[in-house]
A and B are shown apart, each in its own frame.
Chain A
Amino acid sequence: MAHIPDGVLTAPVLALGAAVAIAGCAQGLRKLDVDRIPQVAVLSAAFFVASLVHFTVGPSSVHLLLSGLIGIFLGWAAFPAVLVALFLQAILFGFGGLVSLGVNVMNMAAPAVICGAAFRWIAARGNPRLAIGAAAVLGGLGVILTALFVAFDLMLSGKEFAPAAKLLVFAHLPVAAIEAVFSAAAVAVFLRSRPESLGFPETFRGSSEAMEEEVSP
């Protein structure tokens, strides 16, 4: 679902998606620190393959999205990461249309940026346990937000919002649960090895030894 093919959306929605994608990518590249480029590439690659991990839910079939996770790690840089991955998915897998690329980038990267901002805000309190909990909630929330964005696009293109949103959100609840666990695990690992990439002070690395004992038995 998250990859909307060509021929579903109307022109104004496509234009809106393209505008948001371009603005987001410009902002993401402007804010991108050179040393973080490899991290963006790794998460872009993870996002690229994540959509191949699929499962059947009720009458539909869903796959991993990782929109919350990449937002937590990348913030605004989620836009260029998602753009590259979605472009390659479209040309290599036939996954989503090229005309609707902008809308698809918006659907996945905008929730990522929202989740990322929320995570930074919570992480600023400096409590690692709270940060891991927030990662779980936001990792799941990213998926639900993406589902709602898709339903919203469909509504703007003349379909009814409620049935599409219900269908999309319910089908993605298992995905949200899996990504909540995945995001929490990833954040726990990063808090130990590179806390500064998550908005924690670099000195935190030493002081998180105690937490490490608790997290990994």
Chain B
Amino acid sequence: MIERASLWLFAAAIAWLAASAPAEAHKLKAFATVEGTTISGYAYFTPGGRAQQADVTITGPGGVEVLKTGVDAQGNFHFVAKQRVDYTITVDGGDAHIANYVIHAADLPETLPAPEGGKLLPLDAPIPIAAEAPPAAGETPADAAPTDAAATAIDPAALRAMIQQSVAHEVNPLREQLDAFQEAVTWHDVLGGIGYIFGLCGVAYGFANRKRRAPQAKTSAAKAGRSTA
């Protein structure tokens, strides 16, 4: 017994939804990857693109704040890890949107020191990525491939770091994809939810009707009892 007009209303909402595909939930998300000691990431809305205004707070284990920064106009942020600990990145949009992302100690290079006696070092304010890139690029070739003779006598630690870096390079896009996929709302979710609402409506309607019919049922049962007797 749903009126034509409410169906119309509902159809309009569905049409609107279909027009704005892909269907995704709306919330703030943070994502970050590690390359060497540099942790870079970004804040984004699913759906709605990058968050262009947000505070970024980095905390160590136990919630100790080690850095407070923000995102740039593209929603990016980056910082350099100083210790091999779990860093929690909290992005706050200021409008009740908040997101967390944890960089695990295991993803950071083994060359980084562990915190001595649980003491966390505060991180430096990040320098713009463009200014930082050239030294980072210059570093690797100097260490990695000087001459053939040196290549055979490569330092195992440096080799391990290189392997870690290239594996991270390959795996990070997959992580990013997986993270985004986790948040995507599929049509199953949407239709499932609508189904729940109408199912609940049916249950409520059924119970209410049973209550209403109870007196009638009693009289008809009495009648039936009389006729058999």
Contacts and interface: CB of A to CB of B under 8 A. Distances in A.
B94 A164 contact: yes
A193 B5 contact: yes
A48 B194 CA distance: 8
Contacts of B201: 37-38, 40-41, 44
B2 interface: yes
A46 B10 contact: yes
Secondary structure call for the A interface:
helix
Contact of A1 (B12, B95, B204): B95
A94 B181 CA distance: 13
A172 B211 CA distance: 44
Central interface residue in A61, A64, A94, A95, by most chain B CB within 10 Å: A61
B198 to A, nearest CB: 6
B223 interface: no
Given A38-B205, A92-B192, A61 B45 contact: yes
Nearest to B22: A52
A51 B197 contact: no
Nearest to B203: A37
Contacts of A5: 27, 96-99
Contacts of A189: 5, 8-9
B167 interface: no
Most chain A Cβ neighbours within 10 Å, of B2, B4, B93, B95? B95
Interface stretch (B30-38, B120-128, B172-180, B183-191): B183-191
B25 A42 contact: no
B197 A85 contact: yes
B115 interface: no
Nearest to B11: A46
Contacts of B25: 51-52, 89, 93-95
Given A4-B96, A163-B94, A193 B4 contact: yes
Interface in A45-89: 45-46, 48-56, 58-64, 84-85, 88-89
B6 A39 contact: yes
A93 B185 contact: yes
Contacts of B144: none
Interface residues of B, number: 52
B40 interface: no
Given A92-B192, A94-B25, A60 B96 contact: no
A106 interface: no
B53 interface: yes
Choose among A52, A89, A194 the residue with the greatest number of B CB atoms under 10 Å from its CB.
Answer: A52
Contact of A54 (B47, B95, B200): B47
B26 A60 contact: no
A39 B16 CA distance: 20
A51 B5 contact: no
Contacts of A54: 20, 24, 26, 45, 47-48
A38 B1 contact: yes
A171 B93 CA distance: 13
Given A37-B205, A59-B51, A150 B96 contact: yes
Given A63-B26, A163-B94, A53 B16 contact: yes
B23 interface: yes
Interface in A139-165: 150, 153-154, 159, 163-164
Contacts of A12: none
B116 interface: no
Interface of A: 1, 3-5, 7-8, 34-35, 37-46, 48-56, 58-64, 84-85, 88-89, 92-95, 150, 153-154, 159, 163-164, 167-168, 171, 182, 186, 189-190, 192-194
Interface of B: 1-10, 12-14, 16-17, 20, 23-27, 45, 47-49, 51-53, 93-99, 183, 185, 189-190, 192-194, 196-198, 200-201, 204-205, 208-209, 212
